Each structure stands twice: as structure tokens, then as C-alpha cells.
């Protein structure tokens, strides 16, 4: 059985997926972005966060990520506008001194929240870039990916 693009109609034109007949289920998705910060930036970090002239980096990125997740339907053309029931972001430095952004979005509805989690993680990563670029432009957002999703047709969990 070959899969087809869900956002194309029979003529190949972009089309929003009709979720009217789908069952309402609990949906959850977690996405992760990894931001590589150079040594010049890391010098300014204490145990967890850094303050710049724009404010605390990780705290501001958390707020930006939540705001972005809530507006995903306005940013991605064929995404359904969703009323998220919860959105949580966690940002920390890993053992490689990379900033790890994890965003989990939840709702009870007819469509998944993968794009909301991915958007939240992405915008939080971009906010870290924006707030740290005064120290160095040698910043890499090296990865944004879905880590886990539940609800809907099938569950997914990254196995690495």
C-alpha cells in the first residue's frame, strides 16, 4: 500500500484535511530542537540560564515557544487552528553544552499536535539564537525533530 500526501486534493492542489469524521481522542506530541552555542556564549552561562540586555535567555525562549505553538495554525498554511489544552517547554544544557529545547503540546481533539510541538521547539530555538547573537553569530540550530506522539491513527516514539 503506497502512502499519499494528505494535503493534496485529487488534482494535486493544496487542500486542508477534512477531520470532520475523525474520532475525538487525547493527543500529545513532543518535539526537540538542539542549539549549538560556541564557547564565547557559554562563558556567559551560569548553572542554567544567561541574562542578556533582552532578558533571561531560556525563560524568554520558553514564552516564545508557547506563544508560537498556540499560533501554529496561523503560521503553517494547511494546519488546523487548535485550542491547545497544555503546552510545556523545557530548556537545558546537555553534556555537550548544547541548549536542548523540548516542547510538549496536548489536547483532546480530532487532529494531532505534532506541528504545534515542532513550531514551539523551533521558535524557542530561534529565540535563543536571537538573544545570544550579540555574543557570537557562531550558533547552529542543528536539529529539530519529533520525539514522540500519541493519539490518532498511530503512535510514534523516536528510537535512537
Catalytic residues: 130
Give the integer Cα–Cα distance in Å for 56 and 92: 13
Helix axis angle, 114-132 relative to 57-70, nearest 10°?
150
Nearby residues of 63 by Cβ (< 8 Å), 6 or more positions away = none
Backbone angles phi, psi at 118, to 5 degrees: -65, -40
Decide: 102 and 120 in contact? Cβ < 8 Å: no
Amino acid at each position: 500500500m503506497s502512502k499519499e500526501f494528505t494535503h493534496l486534493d485529487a488534482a494535486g492542489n493544496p487542500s486542508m484535511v477534512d477531520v470532520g469524521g475523525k474520532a475525538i481522542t487525547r493527543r500529545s506530541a513532543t518535539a526537540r530542537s538542539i542549539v549549538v552555542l560556541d564557547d564565547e556564549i557559554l562563558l556567559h552561562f551560569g548553572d542554567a540560564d544567561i541574562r542578556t540586555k533582552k532578558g533571561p535567555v531560556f525563560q524568554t525562549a520558553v514564552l516564545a515557544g508557547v506563544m508560537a505553538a498556540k499560533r501554529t495554525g496561523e503560521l503553517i498554511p494547511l494546519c488546523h487552528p487548535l485550542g491547545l489544552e497544555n503546552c510545556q517547554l523545557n530548556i537545558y544544557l546537555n553534556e555537550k553544552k548544547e541548549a536542548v529545547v523540548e516542547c510538549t503540546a496536548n489536547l483532546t481533539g480530532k487532529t494531532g499536535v505534532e506541528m504545534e510541538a515542532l513550531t514551539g521547539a523551533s521558535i524557542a530555538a530561534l529565540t535563543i539564537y536571537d538573544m545570544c547573537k550579540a555574543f557570537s553569530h557562531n550558533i547552529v540550530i542543528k536539529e529539530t525533530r519529533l520525539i514522540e506522539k500519541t493519539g490518532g491513527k498511530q503512535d510514534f516514539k523516536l528510537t535512537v
